[in-house]
Amino acid sequence: MRLILLALFALVALPAQAETPEELSALDGLFSRRGEPAAVKELEERLEKALKATPEDFEVLWRTARLRHWQADLAGNGNQKKLLGRQAWELGERARKLQPKRVEGHFFAAVGIGDYSQAVGILQALTEGLEGKFNERLDLALKIEPTFDRAGPLLAKGRYFYELPWPKRDLRKSASHLQKALASHPESLRAWFYLAETLRADGEKKKAHEAILKVSQGSTTYDPAEGQLMQRWAKKVQPKIEKELE
């Protein structure tokens, strides 16, 4: 009887099974279809279920942070972006503590801070001391794997130098990081879009126009949801650049 009780206790004490490689691949497949509401709904349900079963599963944590970051990108600025950015930040924090040598946790914690900062306003974020936290995490991601997620760490750093207010803003450093991102991932419409905005702000109107055309006329097959989002953003910026060229 005692042996039976011990065996039962051992079964109860065992941690829940982490997601298998096949299950993780399925989650990535759903994320690649995030332009479809049904795919996002299924992805959210599966991630929520997996986190409930294994709250310390690194692979699930960073993938959930990735989804929250994407949703924050779609939310525009405001309370929804603030909430989603905070969630991405917190999930990334949990992931990076579990696997500090992996890039994913550091990166998604950083961009989550970035999303949150955009929502509350860059000046408010600086007042809250978020700049140091953002750079600490992003610099670790850059050190570990700068080309992760189609050069996501390089893009984030380039955008950081663009979005900072004067006198912290540095458009040359912004362009340098974005050009490095494009060197490894020339298909990235986000990199071209960010570069167009940086060049425009730096007075390089003709080059900015060339970059924005890369977005509006580029292929989205590398990542349809991402590419189509960038083209929607480009539709708002391209006419402004073209007007300035007149």
Instruction: Summarize pLDDT for 178-215 with one digit per residue, the tens.
Output: 999 999 999 999 999 999 999 999 999 999 999 999 99
Q: Quickly tell me which residue has 């600086």 as its tokens.
A: 126
Contacts of 17 (CB under 8 A, 6+ apart): 53, 54
Q: How high is the pLDDT of residue 134?
A: 97
Question: What pTM was estimated for this model as a whole?
Answer: 0.91
Mean pLDDT score, 215-231: 98
Tell me the per-residue pLDDT of 150-184, one tens digit each, with 9 for 90 and over. Answer: 999 999 999 999 999 989 999 999 999 999 999 99
What is the pLDDT confidence band of residue 2, given thresholds at 50, 70 and 90? low
**Domains with residue ranges and CATH for the chain:** 31-145 (1.25.40.10), 149-162+170-246 (1.25.40)
Q: What is the pLDDT of residues 58-104, one digit of tens each?
A: 999 999 999 999 999 999 778 999 999 999 999 999 999 999 999 99
